[in-house]
Structures are given as C-alpha cells and as structure tokens.
Amino acid sequence: MLSSLQHILWVVGLVLIQAVFFNHIHIGGYATPFVYVWLILILNKNINRNILLLWGFGIGLLIDIFSNTLGMHAAATTLLAYVRPFILSLFVSHDSQEDFSPGVRVMGIGRFTGYVGIGVLLHHIVLLSLDAFSLFYWHILLAKIFSCALLTVLCILFIEFMRKGK
C-alpha cells in the first residue's frame, strides 16, 4: 500500500533521477530508459480516473520541463493514465474488489511483466513518434521504441525487486 505522501516522495525522487541520470543514458545510441512511467503504473487500482489522469499529466509535464520537450512526455503519460484501467483489467480478474497497488508482490512476476510491458510499449510509441515527428526514418524509430521499452521494463522490474527485497 502506498500512501499519498509516500507517492509524492517517490515522484520527486524519481523525476530528479530521471532528469539527471536516466535521460543521459543512450545504450548503443538508442536506448534510454523512461523509468518514471512506473509512477503511473503502481498507483492504486481503484484510484479515481480523473485523479489518475492529472497525475499522468503532472508527472509528464515535470519531465518535459527538465528535458526541453514541452508537451511530449505529458501527452504520452496522459494517454498511459487513460488506458491504464483497461490494461490492468486484462491481467487482474474482474471480480477482485480488493484495493491494491499493482506490483510484483500482488500480481506475480508473469502478470506484472505483461502489464508493465504493454503499458510501457504504448507510452513509448506515442512519446518517440512525437519526438520523431519531423523525421521519416521509420526503422530508426522502431529500433528506438523497442530498445527503450525493453530497457525501461528491465529497470522497472529491478526497482520492484529492490522494493520487494526490503
């Protein structure tokens, strides 16, 4: 269970780490992990959808301001926040009314990886397409989307296991 205060601390910490560290990783010239999407993915399952959208927009905007891409991350993260309930319902049975935050501990590694994978891929397709808007190198775009998504999912799983280990 994540309280709001705890989540705000995570947001501040992870946005700063994203800005000063993850944004400067370019493995092979392509792959940059956008680990901050984890902040949207782990919000409580039964959270009000409007509040979820505002979280997505706010976090995206913060990342944008740090990386001079105004609107780009915000658009992708807002979309992720909008579709998150649909993705989550694919991996969690409908009748489970219990209140929980998605994570390895509650969902199991297989289902959690599937949930994170689809969410991250969707987010990255929007984000990197907007970034490449004026360029037409579709093969570079595809390489970027898949390499970034793979790296992001690995980083998110790493964070999850670090937390689980505590």
Partner 1 sequence: MRNLLDFILKNSHSFLFILLEVLCLVLLFRFNNYQGSVYFTSANRFCGFVYETTSQVTGYFHLKAINDSLTERNIKAEQELVALRRQVMELSGDTVKFDSLTATVLQGFNLIKAHVVNNSLNRADNYLTIDCGSSDGLLPEMGVVNGLGVVGIVDKTASHHALVISLLNSKSNVSCKIKGREYFGYLRWDGKDSRFSWLRDLPRHAVCHKGDTIVTSGYSAIFPEGIMVGTVDKVLDSNDGLSYLVRVKLAVDFGRLNDVRIIFRKGMEEQQQLEKEIQ
Phi, psi angles (nearest 5°) of residue 31? -80, 115
88 binds partner 1, rule: CB under 8 A: no
d(CA 39, CA 55): 9
Per-residue binding letters, 103-122, with partner 1 (x by CB under 8 A) = --------------------
Distance of CA 77 to the CA centre of its chain: 7
26 binds partner 1, rule: CB under 8 A: yes
Q: Which is nearer to partner 1, 48 or 93 (CB)?
A: 48
Phi-psi region of 29 (alpha: psi -120 to 50; beta: other; left: phi over 0): left
Distance of CA 76 to the CA centre of its chain: 9
d(CA 30, CA 144): 5
- Quote the least distance from Cβ 112 to partner 1, whole Å: 24
100 binds partner 1, rule: CB under 8 A: no
32 binds partner 1, rule: CB under 8 A: yes
- Quote the least distance from Cβ 130 to partner 1, whole Å: 7
DSSP sequence for 29-56 = TTB---GGGHHHHTS-TT--HHHHHHHH
155 binds partner 1, rule: CB under 8 A: no
96 binds partner 1, rule: CB under 8 A: no
d(CA 104, CA 110): 8
Q: Which is nearer to partner 1, 25 or 109 (CB)?
A: 25
- Residues near partner 1 (CB under 8 A): 16, 19-20, 23-24, 26, 29-30, 32, 49-50, 52-54, 56-57, 60, 64-72, 74-75, 78-79, 82, 130-135, 137, 140
